[in-house]
Structure 1
Amino acid sequence: MPRIAPLEPPYPADIAAQFDRIMRGAPPLMLFRVMAGHARAWEKFRGGGLLDRGPLSLREREIVIDRTCALNRSEYEWGVHVATFAAAAHLTADEIRATVHGDADAPCWSNAERALMTAVDALHHSATLRAAEFEELGAHYDAGQILEIILLCGFYRTVSYLTNALDLPLETRAARFPA
């Protein structure tokens, strides 16, 4: 059980409708059930969502999210994203493993993906991008995409804080960190 009790069914109609929109008919994630029990937190959390069709491809978005969650040791969120999006994002087993155990120089990444991984690592470790890191990112991504990358890193660091600090049990259908 997480440290803050989740909502239990039956859910209020407005929350049930929001869960249905987000989960597309699947049962709501524990994280969503915990957050939805606190109106302000749920509203702010949903307002920060970046899973729409933004300026990055699904693959690019998922590399950023998976790496951010792995660096923050959020097996919960990493596992949900890998189980939900890895196949559609055409991430191979080697690439999925590299988000946890690899680095930007892993041979599975393209040059643009190396720039993504380098940026995520830099933002995680120093909360900034050095000039060379920003320049390399700019060689592959435009300003809107760079802002999206930074926003994704920040949002999923927050999500990692939530999943880790709340001690959420891993979702049964989620992937697990590779050994």
Structure 2
Amino acid sequence: MNPPRIEPLSPPYTPELDALLARMTPPGAPSILALFRVMAHNPELAARATGWGGYLLGRKATLTLRDREVVIDRVCALCGAAYEWGVHVAAFAEAAGFSPRETAAIADPHADPAVLGARDRLLVRLVDELHVTSHVGDALWEELAAEWSPAQLVELLMLAGWYRAISYVCNAARVPPEPWAARWAHA
């Protein structure tokens, strides 16, 4: 594994940075994530990103946990963001109701999509199309609009884009993996 290009910050932290990292860290997390400690090199950006990320992962989001995690896991897999994929699979796959076969199918673009339910397959198709074209074709959009409200469709698009941006940071900065995170077979 290549060394990090941006080392995660380590304690001792200034009181301001300690407060920011505390806001960024979800309750029950085993430690402050390396990604957050990398983002904290730019505290103003990290503070503002916390609001957006907090909404997408929070109780006020309009998407179900399963829908959200299908999108996040697929985006991270397509981007090769092993760090973020591993964190999300370890933290949310069980709560989202993913079987190991479903987790593997979401992560592998060559896997048989029949393992996934119809709703999950629609989300995978959405992420795949956005990843390749940055657009959604009319036929797919009609299928999506039959399942999700306009508010949820906007959220799906923003979620996919947010995790693409997070994938860029993880990959380019070479954020070191969390010891407790899941590992994918093709990593």
TM-score, structure 2 as length reference: 0.88
Output the amino acid matched with 1:24.
Answer: P
Larger CA deviation: 150-159 vs 21-30: 21-30
* CA gap 1:174/1:168 in 2 versus in 1, 3 angstroms: same
Larger CA deviation: 140-149 vs 24-33: 24-33
- How far residue 178 of structure 1 moved from its aligned partner, in angstroms, is 2.3
Higher helix share: 2
CA RMSD of aligned residues (A): 1.8
Confirm or deny: 8 A CA contact 2:105 2:112 kept in the other structure: no
- How far residue 67 of structure 1 moved from its aligned partner, in angstroms, is 0.3
Match of 2:119 in 1: 112
1:42 pairs with one of 32, 36, 46: 46
2:39 is paired with a residue of what secondary structure?
helix
Match of 2:11 in 1: 9
- How far residue 3 of structure 1 moved from its aligned partner, in angstroms, is 1.1
1:28 pairs with one of 28, 32, 43: 32
- How far residue 113 of structure 1 moved from its aligned partner, in angstroms, is 1.5
TM-score, structure 1 as length reference: 0.92
Larger CA deviation: 64-73 vs 37-46: 37-46
| 1:89 correspondence with 2:93 | no
- How far residue 111 of structure 1 moved from its aligned partner, in angstroms, is 1.6
Identity rate, percent? 43
Output the amino acid matched with 2:34.
Answer: M
1:139 is paired with a residue of what secondary structure?
helix
- How far residue 132 of structure 1 moved from its aligned partner, in angstroms, is 0.6
| 1:141 correspondence with 2:144 | no
Confirm or deny: 8 A CA contact 1:58 1:89 kept in the other structure: yes
Larger CA deviation: 93-102 vs 126-135: 93-102
Confirm or deny: 8 A CA contact 1:103 1:117 kept in the other structure: no
- How far residue 72 of structure 1 moved from its aligned partner, in angstroms, is 0.3
Gaps of 5+ in 1: none
